[in-house]
Chain A
Amino acid sequence: MKKSLRFLLACMSIFALLALAACSNSTPDSSKEKETTTKTTASGDKIMYVGIMTPPTQLNPINARELNTQILSSILFESLFDLNENFEFLPKLADSMETEDNINFTVNLNKDAKWTDGEPFTTEDVLFTLKTMANPEVTSLGLQPLSVIEGLEANGTLAAGATEIAGVKVVDEHTFTVTTKVATDINYLKEKLGVDIRFLPEHVLKDEDPVNLHQSEFMRNPNVTNGAFTFVKLEADQYVEFAANKEYYRGTPKLEKIFFKVLPSTNLVAQLQTGEVHINHPGVGPIATDDLERVKNMSNVTLLNGHALYSQVVYVNLDTVSNEKARQALVQAMNRDLIIEQVQQGLAEPSDGPYPTGHPYSNKEKVYSYDPEAAKALLEEAGWDFGKVLNFAVPTGNKAREQAATVIAENLKAIGVQVEINKYDLPTVVQKGAAKEFDLLMLGLPFTLDPDLSAYYATGAPYNFSGYSNPKVDELFAQGKAEADVAKRQDIYSEVSSILQQDLPIIHLYALTSPGVVSNKVVNAKPTDFGMFYNIHEWDLTE
C-alpha cells in the first residue's frame, strides 16, 4: 500500500477522533444556549437559585413519579388548592370547594386563571385531565386515590368502553361538581383532587394520541402552562430554568428567573455560604446532617427546622417472625434515641405507630422504649430460636439509613438475635420486599396527609411486604375512607394505630425532619416541605 494513502487514512482516523471530541461544543443546543445567556445576563439582577440534590427526569404533571418532578412541575402546572406547612388548604386555581352532604361537592374555579397562551383555564381542562388520567391506556399515575368518585373503577380507571366519568359534571365554565360513591371527608377530596392533581390544557392536547401522550413534545417541553413561572430549559443533571410569567393571574412575579440547581449536598452548603445558592428545598435538597454545625455558624443564612414527616421503618416478614411477642421484643431492643442523636444529629423524632409525629393523625402516646432486658425476656417467652439468622435487607444510597441499620443490627445482636445485613439498590430491595425474600427490611415511607395507609397494611396491598392480614384493620381502613366526620375519622385511625402497634407488621422507628436554609437576601420565601411555592410570585431578593 502506498505510503501516502496510509498517511491519509491515519489522518482521517485521528481527525474522526478529534471531531468526536469536538462535537461536544456543537451539540444541537449550543445555539439555543447562547440565546439564553444573553437573555439572562441582560435581565441580570433578580435571579434566584434554589438548591436541589436529585435531578428531575421530566416535568410531566400527570406522571410525576418522583418527588422532584412532582415539586418542580407544580410550579408550571398549578393545582386547585395548595397545602401550607400547617396543613391548611389555600386556594389556587379554585376559589372554593363546598359540600352539604359529603357526597355532592361543588368546586368554583378562579375566574382570572389562564394559560400562558392567553386561553382561560376552565372546567373543560379539569374534565379533560381527569378523563385522560382515568384512561388506562394513558401512562400516568392514574386516579386510584380518587376511586371514591362515582363512575370510576376501584383502581381509579374508567370501565372498559366508558368515556365519561359519571361523577364529574360541568356546571359552567368555572363551576363543576363531583359526586362520590359514599360520604367522603372533604379534606380527602381537597388533598387527592385539589392538591395532588395538576391540569393539562385541553385546547393544546385534545388531538394527541393518548397512548403516546407521555412521549409527546408537550410533555418534554411544556410550553403552555398556568403557573407563576414558565418553563425555559431542563438540562439533565444540571439545572431547571424557569422565567416569570408576566401575565400570572395572582400577580406578576417579582423575580425574573428561578434556577433549580442540582448539587451534591456538600456543594449545596458551600454554595449557600458563597451566595451562589439562595435557598434549598428541604424535601429534595436536604442539608446533610454532617453540615448542620457549619450552617449554624454561617452569618448570611438562616436555618429552619421542619416537621417530622418522613418515616423510616423496618418491615418484618410475618412468615418468618410470626410471634407477636418476638416482634415487640425487636422494637424494644432497638436504641432509637441513640440513632436519632448520633446518626441523625437530632433531626428526627421517635415515632410510635404508623403516623409520624408531624402528622395531624399521629397519636402521640409512647408505646415502646429502649429496654434490652425486657426484650430478652419477651424473646424467651416467645420461644425464640437463637440459632436463627435474620436476613436484614437495607437499601443503599442513604448513608444515614445504612448507618442506622448497622446500629439496629448491633442492638439485636446484643439480645441474642442473629442478623445479617444485606445491602441492595432500591429497585432490588423493593423487589425482594414484594417477593418476601427478607426477614427484616428497611425502607423510608413517603408522607401523605390523608391517614389511609391501606397500601401498606391492607390484605394483599402492593406495599404490604410483611404479609399482614387483619380483617379488623381492613374494615377500619374501609370505614375511615368512607367517613366524612373528621372527629370520627380520628377515632378510627387511632384504633388502627393501636392495633398496628400491637401487631407490629412494620416497625416505625422515627420520623425525619428536613432542615431548610435560606439566605438573608431572600424576601418572602421560606424552605418548607409543603406549600413552599404557594407564594412564589411574591418571592424577591434584596441587595
Chain B
Amino acid sequence: MVSYIIRRLLIAIPVIIGVTIFNFIIINLAPGNPVEMFIDPNTSADMIELRKEQLGLNDPMWQQYLHWMGNLLQGNLGFSYTTNDPVVDVLLARIGPTFLLMGLALIVGLTIAIPLGILSAKKQYSFLDYTTMGVSFFGISIPGFFLGLGLIYIFGLTLNWLPSGGMFTLGKEGDLLDRIKHLVLPVMVLSIYVAGTNIRYVRASMLEVFGQDYLRTARAKGLKEYVVTNKHAFRNALIPIITIIGIEVPALLGGAVITEQIFQWPGMGQLTIQSIMSRDYPTLMAINFMAAIMVLSANLITDIVYSVADPRIKYD
C-alpha cells in the first residue's frame, strides 16, 4: 500500500507538468493581454511596451513557462497582476471559503443521498421510491444558477429570511449564527446537486447487491434485516459509490464557480472568473496548478478509501 502511494505520487509529477504546460499554452492563446487591460487610454505605446518587457510578456512562451516553473520549484507563485499581492496570499484567502462550501455541500448531500438511496432500493417501485427518484431527477437536471437565483428570490427577497449573498453581515464577522445563515442557500444549491446524483447511484448499487446470493445466505442464517441491509449489502454497494464521489469532488469545484458567483461567495470560483477577465496570468496558473493537485489527490484518497471498504482490493 505504502509503495503504491509512493508510486502514485511519482506518476503525479509528469501529469502535473503536462497539465500546467497545457494550461499555460491555453492561457497565453487567449486574446488580449494583461498590460492592455490595465492601461488608461492616455498611456503611450512605448509605456505599454515597457510594461510588457518588465512582466516578461515579450519573451517566447517556452521561456516564460520555464521561468514560471523555476519560480514554482522555489515555492514562489509570483505576484498577481491585478492586486500586486503575492499569489499565495490571494489563494490562501480564497481556499478556505471554497472548501467550507464544498465540504458542507458534500456532507449534506451525502447525508441525504445515502439513507434515501438505500430506502428507495429496499422499497423498489413504491410511492417513496418514485418520489425520491423524481426529486433526484430534479436535483440533477436543474441548473445551479437557475436554482440559486430562484432561492435568492424566494428566501432572500420575498420572504427575507436569509441573506442573498456574501459570507457574513458586515460588522458581524464573529457572529456564528450569521455565518450559518449565509451558508444555507449556497450549500443548498450545491448539496441538491450532490444528493440528486448520488441517490441514483446508491439506489442502483444497492439493488444490484440485493440480488446477490450471499445476501440470501445471510438472511437464511437468520440475521436481522437491518444488519443484512446496512452491514452486508451497504458495504458492498459502497465500492462503486466511492468511485463516483471521487470523481464528483473536482466536478463540485466547477459547480462552485457558478454558485460562488451568484452568491457573492468570495472563494476560488469568483477569483477564477476575475482572473480570467483581467488576464491575470500568475493567478490563473496557480489556480490551475491547485485544481490539478486537488483532482489527483481526490483520486488517490478515493483509492485508499476503496481498499478499506473492500479488503479484497489490493494495490501491492
Interface residues of A (CB under 8 A from B): 1, 3, 5-7, 9-10, 13-14, 16-18, 20-29, 33-34, 36-38, 40-41, 47, 49, 55, 57-58, 60, 63, 65, 136-137, 139, 141-142, 144-145, 154-157, 214-215, 219-220, 235-239, 241, 259, 261-264, 266-267, 270, 274, 276, 397, 424-428, 430-432, 434, 445-446, 455-456, 460, 462-463
Contact = CB atoms under 8 A, between A and B. Distances in A.
Interface string B37-52: 1111111111110110
B54 A139 contact: yes
Given A1-B316, A57-B82, A23 B44 contact: no
A38 B82 CA distance: 32
A238 B47 contact: no
Contacts of A235: 266
13 contacts: A1-B1, A3-B311, A17-B301, A25-B96, A37-B174, A220-B85, A236-B90, A236-B266, A263-B165, A397-B277, A425-B32, A427-B33, A446-B41
B104 interface: yes
Contacts of A63: 84
B165 A23 contact: no
Given A235-B266, A427-B37, A446-B41, 18 more contacts: A6-B311, A13-B304, A13-B305, A26-B96, A37-B171, A37-B172, A57-B82, A58-B83, A139-B51, A219-B84, A237-B264, A237-B270, A259-B171, A263-B165, A264-B165, A424-B31, A427-B32, A427-B36
Contacts, number: 194
Contacts of B47: 136, 142, 144, 155-157
B103 interface: yes
A143 to B, nearest CB: 10
A267 B166 CA distance: 11
B54 A462 contact: no
Contacts of B40: 65, 141
B157 A16 contact: no
B84 A9 contact: no
A426 B173 contact: no
Nearest to A269: B157
A234 to B, nearest CB: 9
A137 B54 CA distance: 8
A93 B163 CA distance: 41
Contacts of B38: 65
A33 B173 contact: yes
B289 interface: no
A133 to B, nearest CB: 12
A1 B314 contact: yes
B51 A432 contact: no
A16 B103 contact: no
Contact of A58 (B84, B100, B169, B308): B84
B84 A431 contact: no
